[in-house]
Chains A and B, each alone.
Chain A
């Protein structure tokens, strides 16, 4: 819990007032038309949607997630956040194509690219899915804010969720996307300032850049281990270190105790012992590879995360770590190819082998393919749906391209600034074995090391990153309801004023839906929805590209890909492994399995059904000028005199 000083309150109140002011200031612009309320009348210079891309993708849960992967994998953890790099290619391919289509949303684009019943089914499905996802994301980030306020002020969980999401709703309701994008700009500036200031304090608190590097070089080796559940109250266990090349045992711990009891005080006390072992200087010279923790006196709690510590050795790069619950009769693997020492954390290319360990090259290559090649398509990343709105709000195709590129570049740079602070945090706290503890690294740096009077500034920055995400998803969700359901299916003749009113009512519907999601989100539903996001990326990844680059890919092929993916992903990820038909695959292999299996369904469906109507395709081609395999459509467009053949 923290206590605010007068200066903290001044920061906070000033910022909230600024937010409300923006809502009313752009009221007149937002109410003019549907195009104003959802796209700022397609008139923004590149830097405004760019700041919105950056601000939207800086949410309250983002530093938690980035801290988690960087604390665990060092600078190499930054690659987990590199999925955003689909914009490297998209900015000059799919962004250009989408901006030229003029579709308000990705759902609407389906009716431009495809025709007839299949297109309408796709539009309905994508709009419905997007409404649901926007509510869910709002609930997710809202409850993250609720948890943060509970930790800082001791409020009930729902208080932080309701107050700060509702503040965002005020200016989204009144001025629509105009309010969102203008507020995003100032929120982006404040958030970036806060991120830089807190990160500098974090690095300085750890002794500065040079001290961080030298401490990482001196610390002993560690390996995170979640202690298994034990049925009886006390079990004797032992861990050992193996040379992975020779298969020989390098050292073994003394037998220690695993307890089934809950004892928070004991856990924290043991963590201090872990810390002492990691920073222990004396162990380096004469006790190479000796297990320093656990020792004979250690009592580890079941289902808790600890770090096994052994004396650092420069003779090898990796070791394997194993444990035994039957005094060495049988051994279970804890980690394959675990790095020696801690210096590896400074190397962004610290892989644990081609296929082995927790960070293999195969995962990295898969991620690079998904992220970069995905830029040729639309919807290959969940962020596409928010970016699509920013693309259409840019005043020209050129502005759209630069906005997406620059906004994402800022996201990547922001992650790197965080990463430096989190390595500083690691140097101060190298013992943490519970992900819930080290995921709060960046927030802890801010609240523990900023001087009095600056904590309010930090909290204002946290509100900024929360509101920027909340406002985007409120407006985006409302756009799908208004544009893709109400205007398209219910009242095609609605006036502009009527559509703005429906947009406002839809904002309230999305807000209420997000409160419900936020309050019911538990670990199980979260796990299920992460799975839902994952399957979206896996089986329909290639179809999302094919719909952009291949004229022959039709709506039935795309629909069958979505449906098949829903069934196949359950089979590959859960059902077949649970019956022992296939082994439990690492996530990158799940991706490739779904990639191949899904293709065996949607490709035959595509070829067995008719191509889209040629006139419809020509109309789309002339307007959007897609790249790729569009030869027959292009030839027809030239034949009809709609485009001229290129001379270069």
Chain B
């Protein structure tokens, strides 16, 4: 089994997996590195460019890990969205409690 799963069934994509946690970790790293890296690079501080590259790489890795899962979640959910919207309007109009 690969370290990063890139094929998802609708049922499995709805659950929280290690891929979600990896994406979260790389997301945090990306934010911190982009913040510091941009500021330091703007003043041509050498380590700033290195940190900025880490930020960009972390963003790419995050996308690579999470995108297949997000696509699976979205495509499955879109099939049910119309029904959910009808239900939402029922609650809005208090019909669900009648």
Does B35 contact A78, Cβ atoms closer than 8 Å?
yes
Residue in A78, A199, A415, A648 whose beta carbon sits within 8 Å of that of B12 in the complex: A648
Does A199 contact B11, Cβ atoms closer than 8 Å?
no
- A212 an interface residue at 8 Å Cβ cutoff? yes
Does A102 contact B88, Cβ atoms closer than 8 Å?
yes
Residues of B within 8 A of A82 (CB): 31, 35
With A75-B36, A398-B74 as contacts: A346 and B43 at CB distance below 8 Å: yes
Residues of A within 8 A of B73 (CB): 96, 397-398
Residues of A within 8 A of B9 (CB): 647-648
Q: Which residue of B lies closest to A75 (CB)?
A: B39
Residues of B within 8 A of A645 (CB): 11
Does B27 contact A413, Cβ atoms closer than 8 Å?
no
Q: Which residue of B lies closest to A394 (CB)?
A: B74
Residue in A413, A419, A623, A643 whose beta carbon sits within 8 Å of that of B84 in the complex: A623
Q: In angstroms, how far is the closest chain B Cβ from the Cβ of A325?
A: 40
Does B78 contact A396, Cβ atoms closer than 8 Å?
yes
Residues of B within 8 A of A89 (CB): 24, 27-28
Does A419 contact B78, Cβ atoms closer than 8 Å?
no
Q: When each residue 68-92 of chain B gets 1 if its CB lies under 8 Å from chain A and 0 otherwise, what string results?
A: 0011011001100100110110011
- A467 an interface residue at 8 Å Cβ cutoff? no
- B17 an interface residue at 8 Å Cβ cutoff? yes
> Which residues 237-282 in A have Cβ within 8 Å of B in the complex?
none
Total interface residues on A, CB under 8 Å, equals 57
Residue in A103, A398, A492 whose beta carbon sits within 8 Å of that of B70 in the complex: A398
Q: Which of B12, B74, B81 has the most CB of A within 10 A?
A: B74
Q: In angstroms, how far is the closest chain B Cβ from the Cβ of A98?
A: 13
Does B92 contact A102, Cβ atoms closer than 8 Å?
no
Residue in B11, B38, B74 whose beta carbon sits within 8 Å of that of A644 in the complex: B11
Residue in A210, A398, A619 whose beta carbon sits within 8 Å of that of B71 in the complex: A398
- A328 an interface residue at 8 Å Cβ cutoff? no
Residues of B within 8 A of A348 (CB): 35-36, 39-40
With A409-B31, A409-B34 as contacts: A209 and B12 at CB distance below 8 Å: no
Complex Cα–Cα for A199 and B73 (A): 41
Does A648 contact B43, Cβ atoms closer than 8 Å?
no
- B45 an interface residue at 8 Å Cβ cutoff? yes
Does B31 contact A408, Cβ atoms closer than 8 Å?
yes
Q: When each residue 54-92 of chain A gets 1 if its CB lies under 8 Å from chain B and 0 otherwise, what string results?
A: 000000000000000000000100100010010011011
Residues of A within 8 A of B35 (CB): 78, 82, 348, 412-413, 415-416
Does B70 contact A210, Cβ atoms closer than 8 Å?
no
The number of chain B residues touching the other chain, given as a range, is 35 or more
- B66 an interface residue at 8 Å Cβ cutoff? yes
Q: When each residue 83-119 of chain A gets 1 if its CB lies under 8 Å from chain B and 0 otherwise, what string results?
A: 0010011011100100010110000100110000000
Residues of A within 8 A of B24 (CB): 88-89, 92-93
Does A346 contact B45, Cβ atoms closer than 8 Å?
yes
Complex Cα–Cα for A285 and B72 (A): 66
Residues of B within 8 A of A643 (CB): 11, 14
Q: Which residue of B lies closest to A108 (CB)?
A: B92
Complex Cα–Cα for A492 and B44 (A): 59
Residues of A within 8 A of B84 (CB): 100, 102, 623
- B3 an interface residue at 8 Å Cβ cutoff? no
Does B42 contact A92, Cβ atoms closer than 8 Å?
no
Does B28 contact A416, Cβ atoms closer than 8 Å?
no
Complex Cα–Cα for A488 and B96 (A): 13
Does A412 contact B34, Cβ atoms closer than 8 Å?
yes
Residue in B11, B31, B45, B78 whose beta carbon sits within 8 Å of that of A647 in the complex: B11
Residues of A within 8 A of B5 (CB): 648
Task: Given A348-B35, A619-B87, A644-B11, output 4 extra A-B contacts at Cβ < 8 Å.
Answer: A82-B31, A397-B74, A412-B38, A647-B11
What are the 6 A-B residue pairs with the smallest beta carbon separation, nearest first?
A: A420-B42, A416-B38, A416-B39, A492-B93, A396-B74, A398-B70
What are 24 of the A-B contact pairs (CB < 8 Å)?
A75-B36, A75-B39, A82-B35, A93-B24, A102-B81, A103-B88, A199-B42, A203-B42, A209-B44, A348-B35, A348-B36, A372-B28, A398-B71, A412-B35, A413-B35, A415-B39, A416-B42, A419-B39, A419-B42, A420-B43, A643-B11, A647-B9, A647-B11, A648-B5
